[in-house]
Each structure stands twice: as C-alpha cells, then as structure tokens.
Chains A and B, each alone.
Chain A
Amino acid sequence: MKLKNSIVTMSTIENIFNQSFVDITKKVALLDIIEETPTHSEIEDLYSGIIITNGVYNSILICTMHESVMKEISKGMNNGKKVDSEDIELYVGEYLNIVCGNALTQINNLAGKASRLSVPVIIKGPYQKNEEVEYEQMIEFNFSSWYGLIRVNMEYTFSSS
C-alpha cells in the first residue's frame, strides 16, 4: 500500500526502522538483535520507551523491553561496564533517540520535508497511549536478543502536506 508521498511507502518506513534498530543496537549497545514474528507474549518486569515525531511524519513509537535488556544496552553503551541504576534510563533514552533519529533522518531526506523527534521518555510498566490521537498505519516489530525481547509498536500518519 502506498502512502500519500509515493517515494516513501509503508514498506520503506518499515525497512528503515527495522534496519535502524538492528544496526544501531549493534553499533551503540554492542548487542545483536534478530527480528522475529510478533508473538504478543508477555514481557515481565517491562519498561517502555516512548518517542513522538511531529511534522510530515507524525508517529508514536513505543519500545518495550525487559529490565535485563535495558541493563545490557546501557552496559554496552558504557564500554562493557555496568551503569548505575539511576542512569540506566538516561542511556536507554539516548539509545532510542539515536535509533529513531537515524531512521527519521532517512525518512526526512526521502520525503524532502522535516519531521522532528521528542525527547524520549522511559517509564516502568506498559504505556497507555492516548486513544484520542489516531494514526493511519501501524507497525509492530519483535526483536530477540540473548537477554530478552525488544518489542516495538509504532503508529504513524505520513502526510505530504
């Protein structure tokens, strides 16, 4: 299915975000992740990271992961050294910022128009999205790693106006 701007298709957006998660997680967090078929299995002791974009690409991206994955991501970003518990969320927030910024850079350049990122917010537990805000499309990714699952739910509307 093509979106309003024919250069940027649903498949393009999906591939860009998928690859950004895999590449940046490896490069920045030194962690290998593999995409898996979404299973909707429970993630216990989960944290949610939320990023919103505004502009030609309006979206909300919610990344949920187990606490052990967060610790491993922050450790990888800190040269293999354990991060103080009060800083883990800052590291994971920056990780999500880099993943989403990397993806959005590509989308913005393809679209020829700008969209902007919010400051990532990390919370304990699931995130209850504001149901009054509706988006046109939805993507879900599941990534597995040695330390647990990373689930990404993204809802978005891509507009050429």
Chain B
Amino acid sequence: MKKTILVIDDSPFVVNQIKEITAHTEYEVIGHAKTGEAGIEIFKELHPDIITLDIIMPGIDGMETAKEILNLDADANILMLSSLCDNGTLEEVKSIGLKYLLPKPIEAGLLLATFELLTKR
C-alpha cells in the first residue's frame, strides 16, 4: 500500500513537481490545498502519512499551519518546503518540533530520501 502525501502549497508548480517525482514510487499525492486553513481541514479528513508544507502562503503561513496540525496529531510527519532556507528559518522550523526543511526548487532525490526518513520514525 502506498504512503500518502498531502501537499499544502499555493503553487500548482510545486504540487505537479511532487506528483511527478513520486510517480512510480511507494508514495502517492492524495490531496492538495492552496492555503493553510484548507490544508488543516483536508488533513483532518484524509490523515495522510506525510504532509509537505510551504512556509510562505496567503492566509496563515506554513509555521502556523504546522503548529495547528501538530496540535491535532503530535506524530504528524511534516516536511517544510521553502524558497527561503537560511539558518534562521531552519531554527524556526526546529523550534516548533520539526526536523526537515527542504529548499525550492525541489531536488527529487532529496525529497524522496526525506520522505523515507520521515516515515521510518
């Protein structure tokens, strides 16, 4: 059975990239939300194995969205994606209890390796 992914990102480019990278792998994108608010609702409904989360979005940002999801499920596997990947942003991601922040544009090998690390916890 494939491991399921919810993509929370306002960019169709990113969701298409992730779908393309995960085609013919053990992972499958089962949902896409363009805002944090919508992403939280879809998370409650679908309970995906992995959530990829953009930081900069309209409405509530990725950090706030991650906190909300972790409040619902402390074991949620969240991978933050951002074009802004400086040391300060990484520290901020870690401060809310997450481990992984990947830069955009997404590198396929890095994404799949991080999925594996996330789901092996």
Report yes or no: A109 in contact with B16, Cβ–Cβ below 8 A.
Answer: no
Contacts of A24 in B (CB 8 A): 105
Report yes or no: A90 in contact with B12, Cβ–Cβ below 8 A.
Answer: yes
Given A97-B56, A98-B104, A117-B56, are A90 and B84 neighbors across the interface (CB < 8 Å)?
A: no
Contacts of B86 in A (CB 8 A): 104-105, 108-109, 114
Contacts of B105 in A (CB 8 A): 24, 27-28, 98
Given A27-B105, A98-B104, are A105 and B84 neighbors across the interface (CB < 8 Å)?
A: yes
Complex Cα distance A126/B82, Å?
A: 28
Query: How many inter-chain residue pairs (CB < 8 Å) link A and B?
Result: 66
Contacts of B58 in A (CB 8 A): 119
Given A108-B88, A119-B56, A119-B57, are A94 and B14 neighbors across the interface (CB < 8 Å)?
A: yes
Which residue of A28, A78, A94, A116 is within 8 Å of B84 (Cβ)? Answer: A116
Contacts of A50 in B (CB 8 A): none
Complex Cα distance A99/B49, Å?
A: 30
B interface, CB within 8 angstroms of A: 10-14, 16, 20, 56-58, 82-89, 103-105
A-B complex: 5 closest residue pairs judged by Cβ atoms: A101-B83, A108-B86, A114-B88, A94-B11, A101-B84
